[in-house]
């Protein structure tokens, strides 16, 4: 992914592409799980600051993770980009059990 491409990609699109890549490439998936900051930075073609921590969790049939984005400051108005990243596209959740 080039810097030019990443400039026009939302966080949701970027992360969706990472997920798709893990489904296609087990070696990539294991590297992302073992060293998410390095892989994330490599895919973005940017250095991730030391102050930023990236965690990757893999769901299974018995565990679902919900990520709550940082709450905007009271006086902070959401930009169109921020609204789009939160509202995003459609999601389909399938929960199966015994």
pLDDT of residue 61: 94
pLDDT of residue 72: 79
pLDDT of residue 33: 97
Instruction: Give the end-to-end CA distance of the chain in Å, rounded to a whole number.
Output: 41
DSSP string, 44-98: HTSPPPTT--------BTTB---PPPPPPPTTPPPPHHHHHHHH-S---------
pLDDT of residue 83: 67
pLDDT of residue 9: 74
Per-residue pLDDT in tens (0 to 9) along the chain, 98 residues: 444 444 567 888 999 999 999 999 999 999 999 999 999 999 999 999 999 999 999 999 999 999 888 887 766 566 776 666 666 555 554 555 55
Q: What is the pTM of this model?
A: 0.64
pLDDT of residue 73: 77
pLDDT of residue 56: 95
């Amino acid at each position: 992914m080039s810097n030019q491409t990443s400039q026009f990609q939302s966080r949701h699109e970027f992360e969706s592409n990472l997920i798709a890549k893990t489904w296609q490439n087990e070696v990539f998936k294991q590297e992302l799980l073992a060293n998410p900051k390095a892989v994330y930075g490599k895919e973005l073609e940017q250095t991730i600051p030391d102050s930023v921590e990236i965690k990757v969790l893999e769901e299974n049939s018995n565990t679902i993770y919900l990520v709550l984005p940082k709450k905007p400051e009271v006086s902070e108005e959401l930009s169109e980009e921020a609204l789009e990243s939160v509202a995003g596209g459609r999601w389909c959740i399938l929960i199966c059990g015994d």
